[in-house]
Structure 1
Amino acid sequence: MANDAVADNAIRMAPTRPGDGDDPVRAVLAAYTHDLITAVDDTLATFLAAEVDTLGEIDAGMGGFAAAARDAVLGGGKRIRPTFAYWGWRGAIGGGEPLAPVLPALAALELLHTFALVHDDVMDASTTRRGRPTAHVALAEQHIAAGHRGDPGRFGEAVAVLIGDLCMVWADRLLAQATIAPAKLFEVRRCYDQMRVDTVAGQYLDVLGENDPANWSVERALRVARYKTASYTVQRPLLFGACLAGLPADTALADAYTRYGLAVGEAFQLRDDLLGVYGDPAATGKPAGDDLRTGKPTTLLMLARQMATPAQLTALEQAQAGPVERLAELVAETGAAARVERLIAERVGDALAALDAAPVDRTARTALTGLATAATNRRA
């Protein structure tokens, strides 16, 4: 990447995208994020090519499975987690350090993310992801096209679980390719393992909420957001990057990363809740209203029930079996959508306040300020 002098020049001169205007935050992100994502994608492609070839040597039938696993990883995505991990590392280590030694560790987070997505899609019975069929749906279609016996849906789900498991193993393998000093290795691994535990815990709470809605609440919905999304999307990647830089856990910067990460991560999930109901499927790559249709106890739906008048609550219950568009209108009428927007703004404000007092590298501060807005005020 760049040292501070080059970064300052990038802020002034980086090409901007439509809508960037003269915003220096967007300019520096345009200059650096693209390069980082390209480096992560290249690392993943090289790693996966060798892994897929190795799987192919086991049996001729492994080709489709290996290709499906590879495509699940490389088939789009924002690379948000490696980006936050990079800026966590950069903010702690400063400018001038080469990226190559830690790049495999950053890219490994994308494999961890794929594990979570593929399993999540099976658990939620989702049919599309990033505008394409989810892994288990695509695999069921392959089962039918091949004329295999048995239940295509069951086959697709079973193989998708294996793909998710494989991506978890691949993440460990790729992480092992990073050049990490022995003195740092324990803390790096501890942070990485905690990220995985938090992800599983959040996913379980998500499943539990769907099956025990009578005992759910706004507070528990926010707890799901904290563990299922905030921890492994923003907070833990930032701390993971800091660990790669050798930053001790009991420092002011680590504390700031924790506060910033939880706030931005929760806001990220709250934006997802809104996009899942009111977003444009052409932009999100997923149908609108799935969470409402299934009655998933998101913060948005929990707030709608909490804020509804008795008449609105009755209407919400009656509309559950009707068109999802009407249900979305009723949720908005309770004021819940507006309240979620305020919660997002409050959390972004908290994140920026944490950065203001943090002893963080100046370029990283600029980037993290921009990321707080970009990650929580998006269309997809």
Structure 2
Amino acid sequence: MLGLRPAAAEPVGSVDGALTARDAVHAVEAALGQILDEGLCRAREADPVFAREVADRVSAFVRRGGKRLRSAFAWCGWRAAGGRGDAAAVVNTGAALELVQACALIHDDVMDGSPMRRGAPAMHVDLARMHLDERMAGAPETFASSVAVLAGDLALAWADDLLTETALASPFGVRIHREWQAMRTEMVAGQYRDIRAQATGSSELDEAVSIATLKSALYTVERPLALGASLIGADAAILEALRSAGRCAGLAFQFSDDLLGAFGDPALTGKPADDDLRTRKLTYLLAVGRSIADASGDEEAADALAPGKAPVPDDAVRRMRTVLEQTGARAVVEAKISELAAASLRHFDRTGAEPFVRQEFASLVERASGLTPMRTGEGV
């Protein structure tokens, strides 16, 4: 068993109002360091080769960072519901969320064939290089994809271990675990709908929103907020306000990520800027563009954005970007992001959270929705 960790030397989440979500994230980073060290010890006891070639890579990937938004949103939910004093449970919950996020990213990169993540080679790309360096038999891609799936599974196992221990130590453990169960199922369902849309060539707006909701909005913001609040047994009214706030902020986050996937700068985002367009992935941005083109009778624009054979060449990617600008799709999505972000803040205000907690939440929503710029390495 991992054992619950104390919150940090600093009294994260104390009532003085001077400490912030950033402090909570720092505490999560410290907890993750200990959790990963313990996980590596268990992996070495099980098998040193597995530990060196798989567990070490998972640990390095988690330590490499990301925005840690899920940890911060869990803290906001905890504080909005009246969380005070000992923050060990919310810190451990945040750490568990970062581990399940690692699982999701590793698996997602395999399924999408993405070469980069967080400014470095994706897990399967790194493993393919190891296969070549070690002069192993067989196809490097097959080996790398298989091992990357195992790496993601290991991150999920560590996340489940930690969340289960947190729930078992809480008088509200059943509620906490139910939120976690729902989040994991939604995440997998969203990934399946994403793959299915790719296979069927869907370009429907409703389907794009369903995928964004399941795959991102729920597990990035709504469930972390609810998990944080559930740690102290929040009442139904607070949970409902947090769920509504989280749904809006989570969609804003995903729609912003769609824009980055088409127009982002890899030097700032840590991942390629054209993957979504090159693979004709169904995103809200692409669905909006196709809908506008169809409604206006612009067959040339509709053809440029239509589902079809992927990957598309560089000139077609450039054409898709141009069409998304010319049809006004980019502007429509940017306006929708601002609208969702504003609605999220209104819902969060209904929790009755203290002013500084509302300010913290507003800053997080700004950051998640792309209304403030991201720095290098802050990949999801």
Q: Give the deviation of 1:362 after TM superposition.
A: 3.2
Q: 1:87 aligns to what? A: 76
1:271-310 equivalences in 2 (<5 Å): 271-308=256-293, 309-310=298-299
Q: Give the deviation of 1:217 after TM superposition.
A: 0.6
Pick one of 259, 262, 278 that aligns with 2:247: 262
Contact 1:89/1:245 (8 A) holds in 2: yes
Contact 2:187/2:219 (8 A) holds in 1: yes
Q: Which amino acid aligns with 1:220?
A: E
Contact 2:262/2:273 (8 A) holds in 1: yes
Q: Give the deviation of 1:2 after TM superposition.
A: 4.4
**Compared with structure 1, are the counterparts of its residues 216 and 102 closer, same or farther at alpha carbon in structure 2 (3 Å cutoff)?**
same
Contact 1:279/1:379 (8 A) holds in 2: no
Deviations 1:205-256 (A, max 9, x none): 111111112x4411110111111000000000000001101113xx221111
Q: 1:350 aligns to what? A: 343
Contact 2:261/2:272 (8 A) holds in 1: yes
Q: 2:90 aligns to what? A: 102
Pick one of 230, 236, 244 that aligns with 2:217: 230
1:325-336 equivalences in 2 (<5 Å): 325-336=318-329
Aligned equivalents of 2:263, 2:142: Cα separation in 1 = 31
Contact 1:102/1:179 (8 A) holds in 2: no
SS at match of 1:57: helix
Q: 2:55 aligns to what? A: 66
Deviations 1:77-113 (A, max 9, x none): 1111111011101111244x21124322221111111
Aligned equivalents of 1:58, 1:372: Cα separation in 2 = 42
Deviations 1:30-86 (A, max 9, x none): x52332222111111111112112211233322121211211211221111111011
Q: Give the deviation of 1:168 after TM superposition.
A: 1.0
Contact 2:118/2:269 (8 A) holds in 1: yes
Pick one of 357, 361, 369 that aligns with 1:368: 361
Aligned equivalents of 2:339, 2:242: Cα separation in 1 = 17
Aligned equivalents of 1:288, 1:127: Cα separation in 2 = 11
Deviations 1:16-40 (A, max 9, x none): xxxxxxxxxxxxxxx5233222211
Structure 1 stretch 369-378 or stretch 301-310: which is displaced more? 369-378
Contact 2:222/2:243 (8 A) holds in 1: yes
Cα RMSD for the two superposed structures: 1.9
Aligned equivalents of 1:100, 1:60: Cα separation in 2 = 31
Pick one of 134, 142, 150 that aligns with 1:146: 134
Pick one of 107, 119, 126 that aligns with 1:119: 107
Aligned equivalents of 1:86, 1:124: Cα separation in 2 = 31
User: When the two structures are aligned, how many residues end up with a matched partner?
Assistant: 353
SS at match of 2:70: helix
Normalised to the residue count of structure 1, the TM-score between the two structures is 0.88
Contact 2:117/2:271 (8 A) holds in 1: yes
Q: Which amino acid aligns with 1:81?
A: R
- Identical columns (%): 38
Aligned equivalents of 2:314, 2:153: Cα separation in 1 = 37
Aligned equivalents of 2:207, 2:242: Cα separation in 1 = 23
Contact 1:92/1:361 (8 A) holds in 2: no
Aligned equivalents of 1:83, 1:338: Cα separation in 2 = 29
Instruction: Give unmatched runs, 5+ long, in structure 1.
Output: 11-30
Contact 1:289/1:325 (8 A) holds in 2: no
Normalised to the residue count of structure 2, the TM-score between the two structures is 0.88
Pick one of 114, 119, 122 that aligns with 1:131: 119
SS at match of 2:47: coil
Q: Give the deviation of 1:181 after TM superposition.
A: 5.0
Contact 1:105/1:177 (8 A) holds in 2: no
Q: Which amino acid aligns with 2:127?
A: L
Aligned equivalents of 1:195, 1:170: Cα separation in 2 = 16
Q: Which amino acid aligns with 1:259?
A: S
Q: Give the deviation of 1:315 after TM superposition.
A: 4.6
Aligned equivalents of 2:118, 2:190: Cα separation in 1 = 22
Instruction: Give unmatched runs, 5+ long, in structure 2.
Output: 1-11, 375-380
Q: Which amino acid aligns with 1:242?
A: A
Q: Give the deviation of 1:325 after TM superposition.
A: 2.3
Contact 2:83/2:232 (8 A) holds in 1: no
Q: 1:210 aligns to what? A: 198
Q: Which amino acid aligns with 1:136?
A: H
Aligned equivalents of 1:46, 1:52: Cα separation in 2 = 10
1:156 equivalenced with 2:144 (yes/no):
yes
Q: 2:64 aligns to what? A: 75
